[in-house]
Structure 1
Amino acid sequence: MTSLTIGKAILALAAVFTAVGPVMADFNHTHVYNPNWPPHARFHNGQTMSTGVALGLSALYFLYRRPSASSSLAHNLNIAIFLIHLYYIPSLSGGLYPGALFLDPEFGEGRPQIWIFSAIMGFSWAGWWIARKGIAGVGPGLEKRM
């Protein structure tokens, strides 16, 4: 396992949030236990939660696996941020489909996912940038070992 650095720690937080955030947000009366949801909607919600878990754990794997001859630390960082974004970009596109809403009307109006998902992606980009600067040996010196 490679060492923990500030940039990788930021990316790891984004990956952990990707793995547990959807389950925490959806395993309640607004989604999984919502009596107004038909069984097939629950299937897709379960699929989405499981996708978040799989992508978050996969990102963590690439963040902390030892670089090899075929994969550098930079390559692993690129894969990790790709996996994190692979959850949020399609999730944001969900509101573009006909008849789709970001919230069920019984729970209010708005689009909180836009702000939350954009913040997580921005946070992960900051971690990626700090980590990449650290391995390149340039930048603000933020990539000290913890």
Structure 2
Amino acid sequence: MTKASLGKVLLTVTAVYAGAGPFVFDWNRTHIHNPDWPPHAKFHNAQTMSLGAALSAAALTAIWGNGRWNRNRLTVAATAASLYWGTQLTASAYPGVAMADPPAKTSRQGPQTYVAAAALAVNGVAAILEHRRIHP
């Protein structure tokens, strides 16, 4: 196992949240078990949950796996830890998309927007910290 540092811990937090968050917030009656959702909508929800878990696993393997911690592993870790959040931000730009289903108030921005933006900012800070630590 590699040595812990602030940058690695920050990347770990956002990666774990990207992997677990979709299951925490979508494995319920408002999403995957929603009887009003057509099967294809559930397919895309399931795909998103699985994608978050896969990206999380890739990031955590790059951060904590065996081998020397270097610029290449940092790049893989930061990219994998950021892709879920970046795609979440871009999703609101597609036509007909809302951040919540009725009867909740629908809007093109919701708490997910702020969580994703914060996670990307944290990952940016973590990558800078780690880059400086690896290459002083």
TM-score (normalizing by structure 2): 0.90
Give the percent of matched residue pairs that are identical in Structure 1 and Structure 2.
Answer: 34
Q: Is 1:16 paired with 2:16?
A: yes
SS of alignment partner, residue 106 of structure 1: coil
Matching residue of 1:140: none
Question: How far apart are 1:66 and its partner, in Å?
Answer: 3.5
Q: Does 1:92 align with 2:89?
A: yes
Counterpart residue identity of residue 81, structure 1: A
Whole-Å separation in 2 of the counterparts to 1:16 and 1:26: 16
Is the contact made by 1:67 and 1:76 (CA closer than 8 Å) also made in structure 2?
no
CA distance in 2, matches of 1:50, 1:81: 19
Structure 1, unaligned runs of 5 or more: 138-146
Mapping 1:1-146, distance limit 5 Å: 1-67=1-67, 73-110=70-107, 111-137=110-136
Instruction: Mark the runs of 5 or more structure 2 residues left unpaired by the alignment.
Output: none
**1:67 Cα deviation after fit:** 3.7
Write the letter of the residue equivalent to 2:76: I
- Residues 67, 73 of structure 1: 8 Å contact kept: no
Aligned residue identity for 1:133: R
Displaced runs of 4+ in structure 1, greater than 6 A?
none
User: Normalising by structure 1, what TM-score?
Assistant: 0.84
**Matches of 2:95 and 2:134 in 1, distance apart?**
45
Per-residue deviation, 1:11: 0.7
> Which deviations, in whole Å up to 9, do the C-alpha atoms of 1:119-145 show, x marking residues without a partner?
0111111111111111223xxxxxxxx
